[in-house]
Amino acid sequence: MKWRVPELPEADLSRIIEMAWEDRTPFDAIEASYGFSEQQVIAIMRRHLKGGSFRLWRKRVTSRSTKHIATRPAGVQRAYCPTQYKQR
């Protein structure tokens, strides 16, 4: 049975896509925040990105060890860069 991509609020969809594009945000963090597995995130990205953008993202994610907690270097404990959410 194929998983169906649910209709998501625009803000949630935007944040999931943003987290998926971030190099240091593992799929486990997306699952903890939104409840979507890696395969479900891939389905969301496939549905909501243009074909070329999806292929570029898949190529990028495939080569990133930081997208999977099990393959991350031991010293990396955060899901995002410390300067990413600076207050102005």
66-81 mean pLDDT = 62
- Residue boundaries of the structural domains of the chain: 10-70
CB 41 within 8 A of CB 35: no
Is pLDDT at 5 greater than 80 in this prediction? no
**Range in 9-13, 54-58, 69-73, 76-80 the model is least confident about:** 76-80
Q: 53 with 14: CB under 8 angstroms?
A: no
pTM, entire model:
0.73
pLDDT tens across 20-44, in order?
Answer: 998 888 888 899 899 999 999 999 9
Q: Per residue in 19-46, is it b (16+ CB within 10 Å) or e — as a string?
A: bbebeebbbbbbeeebebebebbbbbbe
Residues in the chain: 88
